[in-house]
Structure 1
Amino acid sequence: MERKRFIKTVTVLALMSALFLTACKEAAQQKKAQVQQQTYTCPMHPQIVQNKPGTCPICGMDLVLFDKSNKEASLTLGESQIQLANITMMTVGSAALSDYKQLNGRLATDPEQTAVISSRVQGRIESLFIKETGVKVTKGQPLYRIYSEQLASLQQEYLLAAAQAKHFPDDARFQQIEKAARQKLVLYDQSDRQINQLLQAGKADPYVTYPASVSGVVAELSVSEGQYVSEGSAVMRLEGYNQLWVEADVYPAEAAAVRVGQSVKVVVAGWENEPQTMTIAFINPVLQSGSQLMQIRGTVANPDSRWQPGLQANIVLPVKSSDAALSLPVNAVIRDGKGAHVWIETARGKFEPRKVETGMENFDVVEITGGLEDGDKVVVSGAYLLYSEFVLKKGANPLAGL
């Protein structure tokens, strides 16, 4: 009897031990499975995902835990989080939208503002009052002093003719000779003041000073002091910068969108906030040598000569427009390999991704051709932060379930 009781007790204890071990094993397996379900990712590089703690192989940051079991396709943020992320919204609506094409261009000197100062007589450059380029000169300012025997002979001829006309005031022939001799001096760029000074002095002066006929900046010097020049030889070139050419390159396939008389915007590098309006004045029908580019040209005012020839200038060319289109700022649309999407505020602090289709686009806005309706409240700043937060918390692309 006692033997049977002992055997029964041992059997019960063995069964209890087996049940206890099984329960412990199941608890351990459940805990292990729970640990394995935990997933870690990098806050800066959401594509880095692993099932254990560690550091990001790209930036070295510690990986953070996220719950990928939460499949709700939305994010809920508090007021402080919205302000910290600088998230702002706008209500979309139909409005006019234009598409633009940007042409690479440059500023160039306007030939109409260029003047070549040439020697009116042959002789020797005795004095050169401007000896370097880049100097600004004004009209009437002395430029050079020349020694010319030819001009001295013409002066002497005029003095004799003037003396004869004075002694024989009633003789028309002497009067005509005096006028002809005076006209020769005028043709050699002698002013009335210089001719009157010659009459008062009563003798020829082979040294003559020539002033600037126009105002401008000395762009080129062609002579030096002591150099002999012939009649018509270039002395210097003056350029005016109050008005500049804008030259831009255009491919022949794009030439159909350009026409003479068309008004376009010009953006000078460094003055992006001050676009200028220009009218296209010329389209070169010949391709530039060594390229497949045509050239268009126009002029812009250059107040106070603040721009210099050679500066980069882009032409903003409108190519098409729509009178009624849904549009958003470019930064509101997130693009990746799965498409384009925006973030919609469905309730205060609750944001959901919305897949959209885009149309024409310019530098500031993009047309939305599908996915949105008038009145939708769209995130326009902070959209990328919402995208990153979604990937971080959900472990999936916002478009995965759309």
Structure 2
Amino acid sequence: MRPMGLGLTVVAIAVAAAGGYWAGSGGHGTPAAGTEVAAAGEAAPAQGSGERKILYYRNPMGLPDTSPVPKKDSMGMDYIPVYEGDGPDDTGAVKVSPARLQTLGVKTARAETAVVDAAVRAVGRVEVDERRIHDVAPRFEGWIERLFVSATGDPVKKGQALFSVYSPELVSAQQELQIAERLSTGASAGEAEAVAGAERLAQAARERLRNWNVAPGKGDAARVILSSPVNGVVLEKRAVEGMRFAPGTAIYRIADLSSVWVLADVYEQDLARVKVGETAQVTLDAYPGQTFDARVAYVYPTLNAATRTTPVRLELANPDGQLRPGMFAHAELATAGRSPQVTVPRSAVIDSGERQVVFVVQGEGRFKPQEVKLGQRGSERVEILDGLAEGDEVVVAANFLIDAESNLKAALASFAEPQAAAAKVYEATGNIESIDLSSNSVSMTHDPIPDLQWPAMTMDFGLDNAEVTAGILPGEPIWFAFEDRGDGEFVITRIEKMDGAHAAGHGGH
């Protein structure tokens, strides 16, 4: 007897350990098969008073297939039980076990009232201030005799000589002016008409020189020196000594770089937050840690359809010449947020494009998807205008995995609930001709069923489970209830012997 008792003790411990493993693993282990055997031997799976009720069993591969009793799929995997409280609902709420929460790495945070860092960040490039570009383009025809500034990029001062030219037109105008001036000063007082003619000739010569931007009497009559109109650097130089130029040819292009632009590309959704006149900060990769103050001068009226951005012009001083045209720049256009709002970490929001959702912690491992309306998005937090209150706890890590589980359970609900609603129950009387437990079916001879307009006949019915026919012998008069589960499937869910009391109770059927 002692060895037998020891053996029973070992078996009991092994069963308890296997049951614990099955509960912890979500029902994927072999104990599910044991549950199926128990169901076959009893009217219902044995559940203690402290155990939760099993609602149904779902497909282990996530397919939209459920079963009221334990079963296996085509690959031999046990269906997973869904307990009361874990069942799907129309909100998509999902419950996750503590062990799985730790495996998934779920983290939570509370919604807090704060001012969001609402800075509009953009990238751009340093450009020359277009209003500070000057072309040196003579208005007359001539030849370049000598260059005093001979390289692109050379700095120049206002009034500094750039090049000297020879122009027959200038020579003619200068000589006319000199002759007219000599005639007007050399004529006697009695030659008033000659003096007036000389003055008119001199005035015409001066006017031509003024239109050519050449000061009368500057240099000798044959050669003129052209100088820089501003302080700056030479951006372009087309001049070479001996080159002939036509009127209007831009020989030098000089830019004043004491003030420059930054053209920053701002995304379409941020344009409403950019205002002309606001301050901005610019940083450049060339000068780490150094910030340059700027001002929003202009928002361009066009949008780049490919990048969905609009250029915004920033103006900033460049007294030391550190900012060079073409440099890559980072701009921060708006640094002040609005009034404090309820905020959550950016990682808490699942944005599908059509709606934004967060998962609210409901306790005991339950998470409910909550649609929210977003405000400004900061670098770390985002405003919640509607859908959450301060102090609500939300998931900030592994929320995509919980979202997938929630969508699965909602899909299962959409399949399971209509099936339950569509199943119609009918009652009838008759007797069993034969029972085939291998196919879980019976051959039944039944009386007329008015609700289905069926006459008395013999036909096959499925059995909801093997226990339905327990204690029933073929040929005995019985009352039975069955469900129409669609597609011609009629399943008997309950059978009772037709003794005197039952015959009186079910006589109306």
What TM-score, normalized to structure 1? 0.56
Between the aligned partners of 2:309 and 2:376, the Cα distance in structure 1 is 25
Tell me how large the CA RMSD over aligned residues is: 5.5
Contact persistence 2:158–2:227 (CA under 8 A): yes
1:138 aligns with 2:157: yes
Between the aligned partners of 1:102 and 1:167, the Cα distance in structure 2 is 74
Alignment of 1:2-401 (within 5 A): 15-31=1-17, 70=98, 92-93=112-113, 108-168=127-187, 170=189, 171=192, 172-173=195-196, 174-191=198-215, 195=218, 198=219, 204-241=220-257, 242-244=259-261, 246=263, 270=284, 276-280=294-298, 283=301, 299-304=313-318, 306=323, 308-309=325-326, 311=328, 325-328=341-344, 330=346, 333=348, 335=350, 339-341=357-359, 357-364=372-379, 365-370=381-386, 372-374=388-390, 376=391, 387=397
Contact persistence 1:245–1:297 (CA under 8 A): no
3-state SS, counterpart of residue 302 of structure 1: strand
Q: How far is the alpha carbon of 1:128 from its aligned partner?
A: 2.3
Between the aligned partners of 2:402 and 2:129, the Cα distance in structure 1 is 59
3-state SS, counterpart of residue 223 of structure 1: coil
* Shift in alpha-carbon separation, 1:123–1:370, aligned structure 2, 3 A: closer
3-state SS, counterpart of residue 283 of structure 1: coil
Q: How far is the alpha carbon of 1:211 from its aligned partner?
A: 0.1
**Residue equivalent to 1:54:** none
Q: How far is the alpha carbon of 1:340 from its aligned partner?
A: 1.9
Q: How far is the alpha carbon of 1:117 from its aligned partner?
A: 1.1
* Shift in alpha-carbon separation, 1:223–1:160, aligned structure 2, 3 A: same
Contact persistence 2:124–2:262 (CA under 8 A): no
What TM-score, normalized to structure 2? 0.46
Computing the radius of gyration from Cα coordinates, the structure with the larger value is: 2
Counterpart code for 2:227: P
Between the aligned partners of 2:135 and 2:369, the Cα distance in structure 1 is 64
Contact persistence 2:132–2:255 (CA under 8 A): yes
Percent identical residues: 17
Between the aligned partners of 2:113 and 2:206, the Cα distance in structure 1 is 78
Q: How far is the alpha carbon of 1:210 from its aligned partner?
A: 0.5
Between the aligned partners of 1:301 and 1:121, the Cα distance in structure 2 is 36
Between the aligned partners of 1:353 and 1:259, the Cα distance in structure 2 is 35
3-state SS, counterpart of residue 149 of structure 2: coil
Counterpart code for 1:220: E
Counterpart code for 1:227: M
> What are structure 2's unaligned runs of at least 5 residues?
26-95, 410-509
- Number of residue equivalences: 313
Q: How far is the alpha carbon of 1:212 from its aligned partner?
A: 1.1
Contact persistence 1:339–1:355 (CA under 8 A): yes
Q: How far is the alpha carbon of 1:98 from its aligned partner?
A: 10
3-state SS, counterpart of residue 139 of structure 2: coil
3-state SS, counterpart of residue 190 of structure 1: coil
Between the aligned partners of 1:122 and 1:211, the Cα distance in structure 2 is 17
Q: How far is the alpha carbon of 1:118 from its aligned partner?
A: 0.8
Deviations 1:168-198 (A, max 9, x none): 3755423443343334333332336x53xx5
Between the aligned partners of 2:143 and 2:149, the Cα distance in structure 1 is 16
Contact persistence 2:293–2:316 (CA under 8 A): no
> What are structure 1's unaligned runs of at least 5 residues?
1-14, 40-67, 75-86, 199-203, 347-351
Contact persistence 2:230–2:256 (CA under 8 A): no
Between the aligned partners of 1:237 and 1:209, the Cα distance in structure 2 is 17
Contact persistence 2:278–2:296 (CA under 8 A): yes
* Shift in alpha-carbon separation, 1:72–1:370, aligned structure 2, 3 A: farther
* Shift in alpha-carbon separation, 1:25–1:281, aligned structure 2, 3 A: closer
Between the aligned partners of 2:309 and 2:120, the Cα distance in structure 1 is 15
Between the aligned partners of 2:314 and 2:351, the Cα distance in structure 1 is 41
Contact persistence 1:265–1:315 (CA under 8 A): no
Of structures 1 and 2, the one with the larger relative CO (CA 8 A, separation 6+) is 1
Q: How far is the alpha carbon of 1:227 from its aligned partner?
A: 1.0
Between the aligned partners of 2:210 and 2:221, the Cα distance in structure 1 is 16
3-state SS, counterpart of residue 21 of structure 1: helix
